[in-house]
Each structure stands twice: as C-alpha cells, then as structure tokens.
Amino acid sequence: MININIPRKNKTITTEAGDKLLKILIDNGEFVEGPCGGRGSCGRCKIKHISGYLPLITEDEKRFLSEEEINNGIRLACLISPTSDIQIDIIDQEKNHKVLTGGFIPEFNINPSIWKKVISIDKPTLGISTTYEDLFTNILGLEELDLNVLKNLKMQSGQFTVVYDGDKLMGLEYGNTTNEIYGVAVDIGTTTVVASLININTGEEIDSEAEINAQKNFGQDVLTRITYVVENREQGTLELQKAIVNSLNKMLNRICERQNLSKDRIYEMSIAANSTMIHILLGVESISLGKSPYAQMFSKAKNIMAREIGLDSMSSFARISTLPSVSSYIGADIVAGAFVAGLHKTDKRVLFIDIGTNGEIVLSDRGKLVSCSCAAGPALEGMNISSGMRASDGAIEEMGIGENEITLQVIGNTKPIGLCGSGILAAVREMLACGLVNERGNIVKPDSLESDDFRQKYLIVENKKRSIKINKDIRITQGDIRQVQLAKSAILSGFVALVNYVGLELTDLDEVIVAGQFGAHLPVESLVGTGILPKDVEKKIRYIGNSSKTGAYLSLISLDSRKEMNNLSKQIDYMELSVSEGYERLFVESSRFKI
Amino acid sequence: MININIPRKNKTITTEAGDKLLKILIDNGEFVEGPCGGRGSCGRCKIKHISGYLPLITEDEKRFLSEEEINNGIRLACLISPTSDIQIDIIDQEKNHKVLTGGFIPEFNINPSIWKKVISIDKPTLGISTTYEDLFTNILGLEELDLNVLKNLKMQSGQFTVVYDGDKLMGLEYGNTTNEIYGVAVDIGTTTVVASLININTGEEIDSEAEINAQKNFGQDVLTRITYVVENREQGTLELQKAIVNSLNKMLNRICERQNLSKDRIYEMSIAANSTMIHILLGVESISLGKSPYAQMFSKAKNIMAREIGLDSMSSFARISTLPSVSSYIGADIVAGAFVAGLHKTDKRVLFIDIGTNGEIVLSDRGKLVSCSCAAGPALEGMNISSGMRASDGAIEEMGIGENEITLQVIGNTKPIGLCGSGILAAVREMLACGLVNERGNIVKPDSLESDDFRQKYLIVENKKRSIKINKDIRITQGDIRQVQLAKSAILSGFVALVNYVGLELTDLDEVIVAGQFGAHLPVESLVGTGILPKDVEKKIRYIGNSSKTGAYLSLISLDSRKEMNNLSKQIDYMELSVSEGYERLFVESSRFKI
C-alpha cells in the first residue's frame, strides 16, 4: 500500500500501487476534471507534484503542459501511476463551476461521452496500395470507417480531429478543434421546451432558450395529442415530430447566432421528457400510451443520429440521446428528477413530486423506490379556469384578501387580465383562510354572513350562482374552485396512497422535494394552504427547479450519471393508483380543504 | 470415427461423431441446400435416413416435414448429429439449378447473408411493466431494437417474421414471409448497368434488366466523369450518384411490376463495378482516382442501408453490399472476375483479361496473383471510329472480305449504318488477312498493287488520304486503324509485360480467360487475328461472360464466396505498367500487326 498525501486538504489516501492517479483521486472523492475519461487526450486533469517519487514526465504529458507548468511540477493525473508515497496538491477547480443556471445540481464527475483527439495524416503515395481509409483505420485501430465519415472526407494530409462518442468514432474534422465541444441539454415539456447549450469540456451552461411546445396546435395535453395520432394514423406522428424538431432547430439556431458558434461544433443533444413526448420525438407510435394497458413501445435510453429525425442544427454526425423511462406515466423527466433528487442513494424517506398537468410522485424509502401518477388536470396551470391564463404578462400570480381590499401581484407589473396557476391557487388559499370558501369547497352564502361582514363585498350572486369578485373584471366562480379541488384531490390522494402503500405515515417523511418548472412557482403557503400537500410536510418541502433538464444536463456531461440513471429507471416500481385498494374513498376524503 | 454411407453414390465419408450432418456432407463435397446457414430455420437441407441409429425426430424438424416425409425417413441434416455408422441418401437437388442466365458459374454453397425466422408475440398486459420492445428483445436475445425497426411497428400481437443480415436483425415483418427472400445482383459498367433479381432461398435468377448507365450524360468514360466531379465539387458526386441510383430504382421497379413482386421482399443488392463507379455510387469523392498517385478513398467491401443513398426500390431496411477492390484500376468487377475464374485456387498458370475501355489483366501463377491495367481507349467499343457506333440494331458486328465482295453480319439483320467494336475488329482482321493493311497498320498504296488486283476496288484515295470502302456509305479510314492499333498495343503490351513480370513465357500459360460483356462479343479469330491477344494462346482462350455480375450474384447468395472474395482482393498484387522496365519499347513492338 502507498499513501497519497494532499497537505493543503489535510488528507491522505491509502491505496494499492498500480492505479492511475486520476482514478485514485476520483474514487476517493476528490474532484479532478477529466472530460476525456482518463484517455490522456484532453490534458485537463492537472495536479501539482510536491514530493516523493513519480516516473519521469513523458512526451504524452508534455503535449499538454507549458514549460512553466512543467517547472512547477504540474503533471497529468490520468497518465501517471504512483508506485510509492507521494505528496501532491489538487489544482483548484471550482466544482460545477458556473454550470446550469437555476435549479439544484447534485455532485458529479465530468466525464462526457463525447470527446476528441488529434491525429496526423499523410497523403497516400504512388506504388503503395494503401487507401485513404486505411491511413485512418491504421492509426485509429479500426476495421473500417463508416460510410458517413468516409463520404465527408476530401483526400488531404495534415491534422485531423477525431470525434468520439464513447468508444465509437462519430466523425472527423480538419485541423485541431479539441477546444470546441458543445452539447445541448433539453427538457421537452408538454407545454414548454427548454434547451441549454453546454460546453462539454467544462460543463458550463453557455446560453439557453425556452419556447412553447409547438405541438400545442395539435392538442393542449398528452392525451389530445395521442388522439390526434389515432385520428391521423398515416401522418400524425410525423406531423407532431416535425413540430417539436422544428422548435428545437429554431432554438438552437438562435443560440448559435447569438453565441457566434458554428453548429458543426455541437455533437450531442441529451433529452428528458415524458414518455409521450419521447415516443413522438423519435417517431415511434404513441397510441398504446393512451389506452389500457398503457404499455410503452419502449422505455430504454435511445441513442441515434440527430439527422435521422431531421435535427439539422448540430454537426452532421451529431447524436441524440434520450433518457430512460419507467412507464407510460413515469417518464424520463421523472427518472431525471429522481436522480437529481438523489432518491436512489438516500438513507432517508424522501418523496419527490413533479406538479403539472399530471402529478408524478416517486417515494424513496431509504433507497427503495415506488412511483405513481395522478391526473391533476390543467387547472394548476391556469387552464379550464374562467379567468385563467398562462403565466405571462398580466397574469395574477399571488394575492392577499384583506378586510378592506384584495392586493394583487401581477406578472410584468401591468394591469391584471387573468389568473395563472399560482394565482388561482393563491386565491383559493386566501378564500379558504378568510372563510369565503368552506372545507367542502363551497362559496359561502351571503345570507349566512352578517350584513356588515367584510366578505359581503367580495360575494356576487347572479342567476343563483355564487362567485367571488377579485376586481371589476375578474371573478372566481364556484366552477373554478371545483377544478382546483379536483386537482388537489388527485394529487393529495396519490401522495397519501403512495405513502400508505409502502407502510409509512405522512409524519415518517424526512423530505418532500418539489420539481418542475411549474412547481417552482407554487409557494409552500399555497401548496399547503390549499391542501394540495398535507400540513404534516410543510416544514420539509424543498424545491429543486427543472430537474428534468438538470438530468439531461448530467447525462450529457457525465457518463457516470448516465449509467446511474439507466440503473435507476429499472429500480422504480410503479403503483397503478386506479387499482390500489380504497383509492376511491381516499380520493373523496382528499377533496376536503382542511382549514 | 463413424461412417456416413451414401449407397446411391457409392460413397462413404469417415468422420468424427459430434458434427451436424449438414456440415459433414458439405465439408465432404456433397451439395445440400442450406440457405439459412444451418440455423434450422429454412427446412431445406432434407436427407433420407436409410439405416443405422439416429436420434429421434424432434419438434424442430417436424415443423418442416410432412407426415409422408417423416414416414419415409426424411430428416433435416442441420438438426441431426450422427453418433454411429449410418446409411443415408441425398435428396436430389440440381446443383446451381436454373441460376444465372449465361456466363460461367463455379461451384458454390448456397448460404446467403439474408435469412428469416418466425416468432410469436403477445401484446403487453396491464400491471406488467414490459414494453413492446422488451417482448421482442426477450425472444430474440437482443439488448434493444434499432429505432428504424421500432418506429415501423404498431403494437399488435401474432406472428412476426424476423429478417436477419448475418447475425444482425434487419427488420420485422407482420405474418410469416419466410417464403419470400429476394435480392439483386448488379454489375455497374461504365457503359452498361445489368441487374438480376435473385430468389435468395433457391439461388434462382428470376428476371433481369440492362440499361445504359445514365452517367453517360456526364462523360463517356471514367476519366471524364471524374473531371466532372473536379469541375463541380459541390454537387458533382451527388449528381452522378443520383443518375446511377435512379437507373437502379427504375430497373428494379420494372422487374417488380413484371414479376408482380412487392419491393418490400427485396432485402439486399450486391454490387460489383469498377472503383470509380463504386466510389460514386456510395457518394465518396472520386477525384483521387483520376490523378497520380491514383489512390482510392477505400477498397474494402462496404455494407450500408440502401436508403442511405436513395435506393428506395427495395425493402425500407434493405442493404447494399459492394464487393472489394484492389486499386483504382483493378476494381471490384475484376476481383469478382478473378474469383469466378477461380484464379486464387488454380494449380495452373491462368491469365484473366477483361477487355473494355480499359483492359484489366490478372495473372495467376498457380494461385499467386498479380494484375495490371492498360488504357485501351474506346475504339474496341466502337467509339472514336469514323463510322463507329454502339452494338445496337444496324451495327456491323462481323464481316468477311472476299475477292468479289464484302459480306456483312448486321445486328438486327437491318440495313448497316456503322460498325460496333466487334465489327471494326473483324474489319481490321480481314484487311490484314488479305493484305489491304500491312503489319505496320498502313493501308496499302493502290499503285503498289497490280491494276487487276481485287483489292483495288476496296481502296479509296481522297485528298491524298487512303481509306477502305465497306459499302457505299461506310468506310474505314487510316485513322480508324490507328485507333485499333493503339488499343491492341496497349492490351498486348500489358499482357506480355505481366507474363514477363512473373518470369514466364507466353507458352507457359495454360489458359486465357476472357471476361466482360464486351469481351464475350469478340471471337477468338478477331482477338488473335488482329494481334490483340498473342497467337501463342489461340487454343487456350475461354469465355466466361459477365463475371462481374456473376461475382455479385455469388456474394449475394453465398457468404462463403463473399468471404473468399474479400480474401482474394488482398492477395492480388498490382503492377504499375507505366513504371515497369522496358515498357515503352514493348508498347512500340506490340503495335505491329503480326500477320
């Protein structure tokens, strides 16, 4: 055994001689950059040698080090194997330096699937029957070049950059382009698509774009889009696929233009999304996802050529990788979220919930995972509400109902024109708090209140129908409250059923993690105040942002994370709510607003 | 050791116990059909069990045998392993039964790369989280289905036919389609394209089509087409590729219509051609083939999806396989020819020659192979000749010059309108024979002949230029004879140089094999009578027809042949004529017409 001592960190690693230093450090929890995966081709895993014996510096290392660095004892950790005790220092590299903007990111090693190396090629000469292909395959240790690679070559000599996806050659580029390796992390939501350009060498998020999913023209939610495919069997899938692919192409083109970046330097798009979105993106029939037994055509992670689905806003040999899913209703977005939330390796009891049109819940009982999905409907996103609207300028997103007046918080600080999801939730919360609505969800009758009660001024009765006046244009109807109640009931009953299913009580939960772009806009007060989440977990709620995109990001720049997500997807059990015992009773109970 | 006795053939094979009977029989030179390669999936390797112990018949065998066959002792040779002495009979199957029309075919085993098997799939059921993909991968022992396969599936249960290319799953078809496996054998000549539809199960040629290569609009020969690519770098290769792909699509569509065959049942196109044609077909830059050092971009056999190059007249998952080449000027067509001629396994000295615009020669000195290529020019195909034309209706293809008249043989028995390649050769042969042309290739002067010499009436002198009158419209000029003389000189000097290069004399040759569509139309009298081939080999000439297409055919239906051709291509040395010693002197000597 030998000792690797890091004085500055007051740490000593005891290990067997023989392994590469990079592996030793990473295995022992040190963060050393190594985007090439220890292949000696990126030159980023620099460490400082302080004392003790190390083999002499090689030409391979010198290629990546300046004279000053060599004089200062800088070495490449992936190219040296210590054979006796040494002292070293780790070159400070901020972990997850300027990575994704927003959202929680767990710790990870940068070891992306995409990497590059430089080779030199001479032209064939007369009399030697070597083909141009042979020159490359001899250097690269391959049987042959793919036709796609070969047909993009012109016969010339000089430097070439070889682009790899794992062990597989993706393509060849003229000159040395090793400094430019970009990828894209994408979350395709049913409503919104988000894409971030990532520097694969550093993990840095360079730029991002968000856009309404163009498939909305074919249907607002997953089921109506599947219905479109059922009714248009010939072309439906293709049309929906084209809509999302066009969106992605446009978003990437805008980013490239803004960043003055050639699309040829973007090599992979990593995508998380729900199962229907992924089936459609890849052009696979989605009809079975919409009817019993709700079987998926596939659940595994897929890796294909981007051009196969018409994505032409990246390199001609760029690839698309989609994350794995669990079932029709626990998609790759939820696998990503469960991974980002660390559900697979927690020693606690953690419940993960993604609130949207569907509420997906994954419960980790100290690493044992089970999931369910509940149809919340679109009310929580401001849809099917009489004055509902999307979260854009003019939407009321928060409010307070006081004795004298109702105060409103409006997106864009403009004149209020409607309520978005968080606004309608805030309204219901306030109305419950002041007794304008009772725990059965009924608006109080004016004649049950004193005539000088402050609530009288908010109550309206027209044609025997009661509603509540927010301002002179905007009202909340009894029907609106029923919509919220249905959503609340669906989510809360799923939440409770899942906790019961694994034999736990609500109070056993150590943490409730709320994910999703939409969830991030729902404050604890609204979630608990409307009874969407039970009061018992009020102090245990944590938000992690768009964990679907974060999962896509991690899969893009960390093969370790990608593998862990593949394993994780197989570990999540699925509980079918509709067939779980006593569910109907639970649903009815959950419809009560507990005040 | 055990004995397999075949009484009808008076033959006993002694072998070790353990091997499958099919393998024993094939290894010992018996012809037993086995298109599935001994996988037990085609049921064609039937034999009759006469006596001796064999394991009881299994369900696997019974699937392919009628009750009558079972009662008669019929068994499947690929599914039984004899453990003691037995007597059997081979079911008579005509070897190479109705295979290619025309041309010599060597013996071979039918074991095509493409094969099928039938599976049964149930639909996924509720509560079991199996995906549709899993149902297939579980049965087929695969990790995943290719996206191309997956996206062509609709979720339904029942019988499916799995189509394989070797070990690789190509696609899935609904129902049982094992009876229909078709492929296409293609020879792409610079001038003519020939395609044959082949029943891969039986090896039978069903139909064929021939068409002028549509690339002729971009240039008559290989070099002018490469020049077109040089001058149109952006689109040149694509335009030429599109021309040949369109031709192939049209030819196949015509065949399918005539045979009332669905294109979905055609799974592979096997292609032989010269190196430029193969580079262009696959969309690979051909510029380097046309200038020193004449290096190829690639020489290996390639196997790609047909749709990658726009070939859409076959199954959506059909493949294209091209044969391997040796060099820019010894292409896959010549490798095919050398294989068909058996050059790699002969114990004789055999010279193979393909006569066309280029003459390619491969010499086998008892299995040791060396090749060269000579630029004959287009004269032998009727081009660059004052009255030249292609071999179509109205072309003189043979003639005799008598004392009283010239007799003509005209294609289509119509009015003669010009001379095709074989016609111009016949003319030169006859003119040499009767002394109208001397051994230097000069037309005799009228005043050197007696005034009553019969030749006077064929001689014309205009503007001091001599020519020979074939009929009132058609003449052969001194320039025409010079063109033939150049071609003859190029071919003969290559022939002699190659024989000398390996240290042999012309008389050492045991056989001269003439290949090529064009070569087949040149009778020995013309070849030797004009001195294209030396007199010494006159009795040793054998024609084998379009051996390029025959090679493509063999690669299509026999993996053994495909592998042998791949090996063969690496065994052929290339002699660069222009740098061979004393070549210029030899070229001049070879220009003499020896009479």
User: Is residue B201 in some structural domain?
Assistant: yes
Task: Calculate ∠ Cα B410-B411-B414, nearest 5°.
Answer: 65
**Optimal mutation site among A276, A284, A289, A298, interface B, most CBs of chain B within 10 A:** A298
> Where residue B57 sits, what CATH number does that domain have?
3.10.20.30
* Whole-number pLDDT of residue A36: 64
Based on the fold, state whether residues A199 and A313 are members of the same structural domain. yes
Testing the interface with A: which of B151, B278, B570, B578 to mutate, by most A Cβ within 10 A?
Answer: B151
Domain identity same for A497 and A553: yes
ipTM, 2 dp: 0.79
Q: Is A95 domain-assigned?
A: no
Query: Quick one: which of A352, A357, A527, A530 has its CA closest to A429?
Result: A530
A-chain residues within 8 Å CB-CB of B292? 126
CA distances from A56 to A62, A398, B572 (A): 11, 66, 47
Task: Point out the domain boundary residue: B322, B341, B372.
Answer: B322
pTM: 0.80
- Across the interface, whether the CB atoms of B284 and A147 are under 8 A apart is answered yes
A-chain residues near B294 (CB < 8 A): 126
Q: What is the number of CB-based contacts under 8 A between chain A and chain B?
A: 131
Best residue in A121, A131, A300 for a mutation probing chain B (most B CBs within 10 Å): A131
B285 touches chain A (CB under 8 A): yes
The CB-based long-range contact list for B123-128 (8 Å cut-off, 24+ gap) reads B123/A293, B123/A295, B123/B155, B123/B156, B123/B157, B124/A288, B124/A293, B124/A295, B124/B155, B125/A293, B125/A295, B126/A292, B126/A293, B126/A294, B126/A576, B127/A293, B127/A576, B127/A579, B128/A293
Q: Which amino acid is at B590?
A: S
Q: A514: part of which helix (H) or strand (E)?
A: strand A511-515
CATH number where A262 lies = 3.30.420.480
Average pLDDT over residues A435-450: 94
Q: Give the number of other Cβ atoms within 10 Å of residue B574's Cβ.
A: 19
Please answer yes or no on whether B574 and A326 come within 8 Å at the CB atom: no
Per residue of chain B (595 residues), what is the pLDDT tens digit? 899 998 888 888 998 888 888 888 877 777 676 656 667 776 778 888 988 888 888 888 887 888 888 888 889 888 888 988 999 988 755 433 334 456 788 888 889 999 999 999 987 776 666 899 999 999 999 999 999 999 999 999 999 999 999 999 999 999 999 999 999 999 998 888 999 999 999 999 999 998 888 998 888 788 899 999 999 988 999 999 999 999 999 999 999 999 999 999 999 999 999 999 999 999 999 999 998 888 999 999 999 999 999 999 999 999 999 999 999 999 999 999 999 999 999 999 999 999 887 899 999 999 999 999 998 888 888 888 999 887 788 999 999 999 999 999 998 889 999 999 899 999 999 999 999 999 999 999 999 999 999 999 999 999 989 999 999 899 999 999 999 999 999 999 999 999 999 999 999 999 999 997 666 778 899 999 999 999 999 999 999 989 999 999 999 999 999 999 999 999 999 988 887 888 999 999 999 997 6
A127 in contact with B, Cβ within 8 Å? yes
Nearest chain B CA: its distance from A150 CA (Å): 7
pLDDT at residue A311 tops 60 = yes
Residue A142 and residue A325: Cα distance in Å, rounded? 34
Check whether residue A574 and residue A521 sit in a common domain: yes
Q: Do the Cβ atoms of A65 and A10 come closer than 8 Å? A: no
Distance CA B410, CA B424 (A): 12
| Co-location of A366 and A403 in the same domain | no
> B312 and B213 in one domain?
yes
Selected residue of A226, A292, A297, A327 to mutate for chain B interface (largest B Cβ count, 10 A): A297
Spatial contact of B110 and B78, defined as CB atoms under 8 Å apart: no
In this complex, the residue of A155, A282, A576 whose CB is nearest that of residue B295 is A155
* Cα–Cα distance for residue pair A537/A516, rounded to 1 Å: 18
Do residue A131 and residue B298 have CB atoms under 8 angstroms apart? yes
Question: Residues B397, B262: contact at Cβ < 8 Å?
Answer: no
Runs of H (alpha helix) within A446-558: 478-501, 524-529, 547-557
Give the amino acid at B19. D
Q: What's at A587, amino acid-wise? A: F
My answer on whether A357 and A499 are in the same domain is yes
Looking at residue A103, its amino acid is G
- What is the number of structural domains in chain A? 5
The whole-number pLDDT of residue B380 equals: 84
Note whether A131 contacts B299, CB cutoff 8 Å: yes
More confident site: A203 or A126: A203
Q: Is residue B13 part of a domain?
A: yes
Q: Are strands B459-462 and B266-273 parallel, antiparallel or unpaired?
A: unpaired
In a domain, A477, yes or no: no
B76 shares its domain with B204: no
The C-alpha of B153 sits at a distance from chain A's nearest C-alpha, in angstroms, of 7
A92, pLDDT greater than 80:
no
Three-class SS string for B215-235? HHHHCCCHHHHHHHHHHCCCC
A288 at B interface, C-beta within 8 A? yes
Q: Where among B322, B349, B376 does a domain terminate?
A: B322
State the average pLDDT over residues A377-406. 88
- Asked if A327 has any chain B CB less than 8 Å from its own CB, the reply is yes
Q: Between B154, B288, B576, which is nearest A155 by CB?
A: B288
Answer for the pair A494, A331: CB distance below 8 angstroms, yes or no. Answer: no
The more confidently predicted of residues A477 and B69 is A477
pLDDT higher than 60, residue A66? yes
Out of A90, A125, A157, a domain closes at A90
Same domain flag for B6 and B124: no
Question: How many angstroms separate the CA of residue A364 from the nearest CA in chain B?
Answer: 19
User: Given B147, B296, B304, which is nearest A308 (Cβ)?
Assistant: B147
Question: Side chain identity at B525, as an amino acid letter?
Answer: E
Of B190, B186, B136, B188, nearest to B158 by C-alpha is B136
In a domain, B220, yes or no: yes
Question: What pLDDT score was predicted for residue A168?
Answer: 94
Cis before residue A293, ω within 30 degrees of 0? Answer: yes
Q: Which two tokens stand for residue A542?
A: 């944590």
Q: CB distance from B71 to chain A under 8 Å?
A: no
CA distance A39 to A117: 9
pLDDT in tens, A236-283: 999 999 999 999 999 999 999 999 999 999 999 999 999 999 999 999
- The alpha-carbon gap from A226 to the nearest alpha carbon of chain B, in Å, equals 14
Residues of B whose CB is below 8 A from A153:
284-285, 297
d(CA B505, CA B299): 32
CA dihedral B563, B565, B569, B571 (to 10 degrees): 80
Q: How many helices (H) and strands (E) does chain B have?
A: 15, 26
A10 near B CB under 8 A:
no
Residue A315 sits in the same domain as residue A213: yes
Residue B297 forms contact with A (CB below 8 Å): yes
Q: Give the neighbor-by-neighbor strand order of the sheet with A192-199.
A: A205-212, A192-199, A182-188, A266-273, A319-322, A302-305
CA distances from A229 to A237, A577, B131, B153 (A): 6, 26, 19, 14
Place of tokens 């895993």: A45
Contact indicator for B327, B275 with CB cutoff of 8 Å = yes
A157 touches chain B (CB under 8 A): no
Same domain, B298 and B214: yes
Q: What is the dihedral of CA B100, B102, B103, B109, to 10 degrees?
A: 20
CB distance from A503 to chain B under 8 Å? Answer: no
CA distance A540 to chain B (A): 32
Is A103 domain-assigned? no
Q: Is residue B558 part of a domain?
A: no
Q: B505's torsion region: left (phi>0), alpha (psi -120 to 50) or beta?
A: beta
User: Which of A128, A129, A369 to substitute to test the interface with B, most B CBs within 10 Å?
Assistant: A129
Residue among A225, A333, A372 at smallest CA distance from A285: A225
* Residue of chain A whose alpha carbon sits nearest to that of B326: A129
Interface test with B, best of A147, A280, A284 (most B CBs within 10 A): A147
Residue B61 shares a structural domain with residue B18: yes
Who among A127, A133, A294 is closest to B298 (CB)?
A: A133
Q: Which domain does A192 fall in, by range?
A: 183-322
What b/e string do you get for B348-385 counting C-beta neighbours within 10 Å, with b at 16 or more?
A: ebbbbbbbbbbbbbbbbbeeebbbbbbbbbbbbbbbbb
- Under the banding of pLDDT at 50, 70 and 90, the label for residue A98 is very low
Query: Is the CB of residue A578 less than 8 Å away from at least one CB of chain B?
Result: no
* Whether A63 contacts A40, CB under 8 Å: no
Closest residue of A to B230, CA-based? Answer: A154
When pLDDT is cut at 50, 70 and 90, the band that residue A33 belongs to is low
Residues B70, B66: Cα–Cα separation, whole Å: 6
Q: How far apart are CA A262 and CA A49, in angstroms?
A: 39
Per-residue b or e along A568-581, where b marks 16 or more CB atoms closer than 10 Å to that residue's CB: bbebbbbbbbeebe
| DSSP characters over A173-239 | EES--TT--EEEEEEE-SSEEEEEEEETTT--EEEEEEEE-GGGGG-SSHHHHHHHHHHTTTTHHHH
Residues A243 and A317 occupy one common structural domain:
yes
Of B124, B145, B285, the CB nearest to A154: B285
Residue A546's CATH number: 3.30.420.40
Q: How many residues does chain B have?
A: 595
> Could A132 and B579 be called an inter-chain contact, meaning their C-beta atoms sit closer than 8 Å?
no
**What is the pLDDT, as a whole number, of residue A130?**
86
Please state, in angstroms and as integers, the Cα–Cα distance from residue A69 to each residue in A43, A48, B461, following that order.
12, 9, 89
Task: Answer whether residue B497 is part of any domain.
Answer: no
pLDDT above 50 (res A447): yes
CB contact, 8 Å: B296 with chain A? yes
